[in-house]
């Protein structure tokens, strides 16, 4: 079975605080891909990052960083020095190599960054 | 360099009517995915299509829903005899190959409201 869990339904932080969004996944495959998407209030989904299961190196992109740990099946997302424009719903997603072609999305975490 | 185009942006239907949602993938993309997002919920996979073929429709309700991606023209998600429970945002996404490393490019969605 494939499943993505985002335990945090909603998070509120004050601008400039750091915030971490959790993502835990389940898969039987050894080859799989993990994604984060951002859905701002305007509604469209914006791609943020893609990782494959063989690359556990953490990644940093500006204020964004991702911590991939296969041992705990987690792919957490941290925003450093959050800004109001970061307010959005963030989705973690899983795509398995050998189980269909669909991407499985988590339920999303709504992040509100207050000024 | 248009992205994934969905129309209409908003669609209002009365119970029992038909809803037709259109999706034009990004130029050069031949793989289309449809997802449904219910209020306060994540994205649920519905169907994955390539040109003229349905590859995976495991997320599609068995009745009233159909999808196509003809050789020419946009992909169409069709909902017959709509009911209130069909009210949701329907997102289309496309990719160039459908292979693991591919990321999805999403459209802005169609918000379907059933009165």
Interface of A with B in 3-42 (CB under 8 A): 6, 31-33, 35, 37, 42
DSSP state of B71: S
A64 touches chain B (CB under 8 A): no
The mean pLDDT value for A76-100 works out to 89
Q: Report pLDDT for A101.
A: 63
| Contact (CB, 8 A) for A25 and A94 | yes
In this structure, of B7-16, B53-62, B69-78, B94-103, the range with the lowest mean pLDDT score is: B94-103
| Contact (CB, 8 A) for B114 and B90 | no
Measured between beta carbons, the chain B residues lying within 8 angstroms of A108 are 41-43
Nearest CA in chain A to B107: A44
What are the pLDDT digits (tens) for A42-80? 888 899 998 888 888 888 889 999 999 999 999 999 999
Mean pLDDT, chain B, as a whole number?
Answer: 91
Mean pLDDT, chain A, as a whole number?
Answer: 91
Indicate whether B100 pLDDT > 60: no
The mean pLDDT value for B86-111 works out to 85
User: Quick one: pLDDT band at residue A38, thresholds 50, 70, 90?
Assistant: very high
Hey, are the CB atoms on A45 and B56 less than 8 Å from each other? no
A108 touches chain B (CB under 8 A): yes
Q: Identify each DSSP E strand in chain A by its residue range.
A: 3-5, 10-14, 19-21, 24-26, 32-39, 46-52, 59-61, 64-69, 74-79, 88-96, 104-105, 109-114
User: Quick one: pLDDT band at residue B96, thresholds 50, 70, 90?
Assistant: confident
Residue A72 main-chain phi, psi, to 5 deg:
-115, 5
What are the pLDDT digits (tens) for B38-56? 877 778 999 999 988 998 8
User: Quick one: pLDDT band at residue A98, thresholds 50, 70, 90?
Assistant: low
> In this prediction, what percent of chain A has a pLDDT beyond 90?
64
d(CA A87, CA A90): 9
Hey, are the CB atoms on B91 and A45 less than 8 Å from each other? yes
In this structure, are strands A109-114 and A10-14 parallel, antiparallel, or unpaired? Answer: parallel
């Amino acid at each position: 079975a494939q499943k993505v869990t985002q335990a945090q339904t909603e998070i509120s932080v004050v601008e400039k605080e750091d915030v971490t969004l959790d993502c835990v996944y389940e898969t039987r495959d050894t080859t799989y891909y993990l994604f984060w998407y951002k859905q701002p209030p305007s509604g469209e989904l914006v791609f943020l990052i893609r990782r494959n299961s063989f690359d556990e190196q953490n990644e940093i992109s500006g204020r964004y960083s991702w911590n991939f740990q296969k041992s705990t099946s987690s792919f957490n997302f941290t925003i450093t020095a959050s800004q109001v424009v970061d307010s959005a719903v963030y989705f973690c997603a899983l795509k398995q190599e050998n189980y269909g072609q669909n991407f499985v999305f988590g339920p999303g975490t709504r992040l509100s960054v207050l000024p | 360099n248009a992205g994934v185009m969905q129309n209409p942006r908003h669609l209002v239907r009365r119970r029992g009517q038909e809803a037709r949602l259109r999706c034009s993938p990004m130029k050069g993309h031949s793989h289309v995915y449809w997802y449904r997002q219910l209020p306060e919920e994540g994205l649920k996979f519905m169907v994955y299509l390539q040109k003229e073929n349905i590859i995976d429709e495991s997320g599609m309700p068995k009745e009233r829903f159909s999808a196509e991606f003809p050789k020419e023209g946009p992909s169409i998600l069709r909902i017959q005899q709509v009911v209130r429970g069909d009210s949701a945002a329907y997102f289309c996404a496309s990719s160039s190959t459908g292979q693991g490393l591919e990321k999805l490019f999403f459209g802005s969605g169609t918000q379907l409201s059933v009165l």
